[in-house]
Amino acid sequence: MSRVLRYGPLAALLLFGCNGNDAPPGDDFGRPTMQVTSLAFKDGDKIPQEYTGDGEDESPPLRWDGAPEGVKSFALICDDPDAPSGTWVHWVLFNIPADVKELKEGGADLPKEAVPGKNDFKKNAYGGPKPPSGKHRYYFKVYALDTTLNLPKGATKADVEKAMKGHVKAWGQLMGTYQR
């Protein structure tokens, strides 16, 4: 058997990476170029209990900067790649208007154009961290899009990611941790 046949698949994985359900944050959208921050916690820090399933279960305040010109909307996905059954989706929100650069705590004053998607709790809302064991990472990813997404309320993360393909102009993320 030639070396190309024997090592070809391995070389392809190393060069192009795996892109399954547990792909690195950002998936196919390149390196992050936007900054996503929160007044509640810093990148890499513990998410305060009030924003978890053990507390008030309200979404933390989020702010983003660095979107390029021509953005028509933003999409937000929050997920946990450390869940025992694979990546667990905590929040999907899309068609956030282009002039919105922050979401207040608990979704207060959420723009009426913003459409909630379905999380893995089967709810069209934020569902806070409540890991069964250990310390988990939660990625709040914001995507700047050159379009609005023609998807209904309750669209899943997979639906949103599929519809975003070819429309992501920039993105950024904030990662927080939580352990019970």
pLDDT for res 28: 61
Q: Distance between CA atoms of 149 and 28, rounded to whole angstroms?
A: 18
> Which run of H or E residues covers position 51?
none
Structure confidence by residue, pLDDT tens digits, 87-105? 999 999 999 999 999 999 9
Structure confidence by residue, pLDDT tens digits, 2-50? 444 444 443 333 333 333 333 334 456 778 899 999 999 999 999 999 9
Q: How far apart, in Å, are the Cα atoms of 59 and each of 78, 105, 165? A: 10, 6, 26
Q: Looking at residues 126-140, what average pLDDT do you find? A: 97
- For the chain, domain boundaries: 21-178
The model's pTM is: 0.84
CATH superfamily to which 21-178 belongs: PEBP-like (3.90.280.10)
The answer to whether the Cα torsion of 120, 121, 123, 125 is positive or negative is: negative
pLDDT for res 32: 87
Q: Looking at residues 45-74, what average pLDDT do you find? A: 97
Q: Distance between CA atoms of 143 and 25, rounded to whole angstroms?
A: 12
Structure confidence by residue, pLDDT tens digits, 160-169? 999 999 999 9
